[in-house]
Structure 1
Amino acid sequence: MFGGLTGFTTPTGTDWGERMLNTVASKTIRHLFTQSESVEVSVRCYPSSKLLQGSIDNFKMSGKGLTIRKDFWVEEMSFETDAVAIDFSSVLGGKLTLKQPTQAVAEVKLTEDGINRAFTAELVKKRLLNLTVPSLTELSAGEPVSFSEVKVEILPHNQVRILAKADLNAEELVPIVMTATLAVERRRRVTFNNPQFETDTVAAAQAEISRSLAVAFTEILNNMVDLDRFDLDGVTMRINRLETQGKQLIFSGYAQIDRIPNNS
């Protein structure tokens, strides 16, 4: 499941250091995720004696089929650091502790299926129920509005097609269909820009209200998809770029690694 860690052998030629680092890294990295299909860890340290002083040239992690905080599915995640200073005594104690925070180049790939599964998570669904939307006050008579059955389709050129249903005044559900262009705000928040509403796919009697509900739903999404909500324990992600590729949404940026969790 975990790749071997290379770059450390003792002067006597034994591999006790490599085995120990592999065991410790496997244990600590595993705790970053609720579940993982595969994770590979690689540590480069040359000459290997530098490890005794807690100096590592490079640390890499790549994983597939990862679950974060029980409900959020990531197809692939990888990061690669520059030089890292660790407390070697902590390795001897079965932990991996950074002497100081470090940064890493990072990439995250989400699939269309994974995004839609996230919209079925209780944490997300709760944020779409019984909402008071000022722009809909007249339509809803001040009653809260709920959105459900959200489906996202990934399109070329950083676009997505979003389908949902809105419950307005406990009447018949109103369908919402729109396309939007994804963008990044403040390097952490994903926004849905230039929404185009497909009212031709909605019954004529509901077209106008569907458009109004789509505007409100876009505002809600723009305030909801924030990477800070999905940070790993001790790791903060920031986005430099996002792009759609096939049925995947790819984020590239950097990770600020303040500490590595040492849960037992």
Structure 2
Amino acid sequence: MQDEHNLEEKVLSQGAEMMVSQGLDEVEKIDINVQTDLFKILQGQADGVLFAGEGLVIQEDIRVQEIKLQTDSIDINPLTALFGKIELNESVNAVGHIVVTEVDINRAFTSDLIRTQMQNLELNVDGDIVSFEPQKIQVFLPGEGKIECKGKVLLKEMGNTRPFAYTALIRPRTHSQPAMVESFNCTEGEGISIELITALMQKAKELMNLPSLKWEDMAFKIKDIKVEKGSLTLMVETQVKQIPASITELSL
């Protein structure tokens, strides 16, 4: 009976792995374990699904070093499940983590997807609109919970456009502390006004305090952030509407 149980799980899991892999640009390793048996499949039930992957390239240059999610018990479509395709009848809760490396983050900033989303960022500075056109962004993860950013932008204010470069050292929010900016320095250009710095810090706070990120039909609620040397780990909760069949968009 145990062998039959293992065979059923293996067939369903391999079918789900094939379905997800086909929607990825690249994948180093993927492991989906559908925790069920034939009796439960016929009833449209499963104890849960463990989804784990390494080296997933979601779209162009958007890469995730590692992702691991474990769902609660789920209701599935028994007809499609018998053919190795997992379709959820109802959304299900899951917990896990996502790991991205320093290289992954910088690779993402060079992608057309991210560059398009970051064009002409606007700030309201005492009623005047000031826009930033990012030219270059580099992120470093030195460890000790810190993120270092270096960038160059075109600053457009009061009808004038001028180059501006900066370095910033920040600590993202965690379950025990709020987001913090340890330092912000102008490294090129004439500097910026106190009012603009205030508006910029407020925008940075909003970005660092984003409650979730989206991946297809899944909205990941960020519970904690851990920054180590060379990597960043997001501890997440999510509600899964469907096992991703094709992965086409990752956005904040």
Q: TM-score normalized by structure 2?
A: 0.77
Contact 1:175–1:210 (Cα < 8 Å) also in 2:
no
Deviation by residue 1:76-107 (Cα, 9 ceiling, x = unmatched)? 00001122221121123553111221111110
Please give the secondary structure, in 2, of the residue aligned with 1:36.
coil
Please give the secondary structure, in 2, of the residue aligned with 1:60.
strand
Per the alignment, residue 225 of structure 2 pairs with 242
What one-letter code is carried by the residue in structure 2 that aligns with 1:160?
A: I
Contact 2:23–2:245 (Cα < 8 Å) also in 1:
no
Please give the secondary structure, in 2, of the residue aligned with 1:99.
coil
The 5 Å alignment of 1:109-188 reads 109-135=99-125, 144-168=131-155, 169-171=160-162, 173-183=163-173
Post-superposition offset of 1:157? 3.6
Paired with 2:180 and 2:47, the residues of 1 have a C-alpha distance of 41
Paired residues, what number? 238
Deviation by residue 1:184-229 (Cα, 9 ceiling, x = unmatched)? 69xxxxx953351135xx36x73x339876655554555557575x
Richer in strand (by share): 2
Asked if 1:21 corresponds to 2:12, the answer is yes
For structure 1, which segment, 66-75 or 56-65, has the greater mean C-alpha deviation from structure 2 after superposition?
Answer: 66-75
Q: Give the fraction of aligned pairs with identical amino acids, expressed as a percent.
A: 21
Contact 1:32–1:233 (Cα < 8 Å) also in 2:
no
Per the alignment, residue 9 of structure 1 pairs with 4
Cα separation, partners in 2 of 1:144 and 1:152, compared to 1, 3 Å? same
Post-superposition offset of 1:18? 4.9
Paired with 1:120 and 1:210, the residues of 2 have a C-alpha distance of 29
Please give the secondary structure, in 2, of the residue aligned with 1:256.
strand
Cα separation, partners in 2 of 1:44 and 1:107, compared to 1, 3 Å? same
Per the alignment, residue 242 of structure 2 pairs with 259
Unaligned segments of structure 2, at least 5 residues: 247-252
Deviation by residue 1:20-57 (Cα, 9 ceiling, x = unmatched)? 414421233325644322101122336x5323322222
Paired with 2:198 and 2:229, the residues of 1 have a C-alpha distance of 27
Unaligned segments of structure 1, at least 5 residues: 1-6, 186-190
What one-letter code is carried by the residue in structure 2 that aligns with 1:209?
A: I
Cα separation, partners in 2 of 1:181 and 1:31, compared to 1, 3 Å? same
Q: TM-score normalized by structure 1?
A: 0.74
What one-letter code is carried by the residue in structure 2 that aligns with 1:128?
A: M
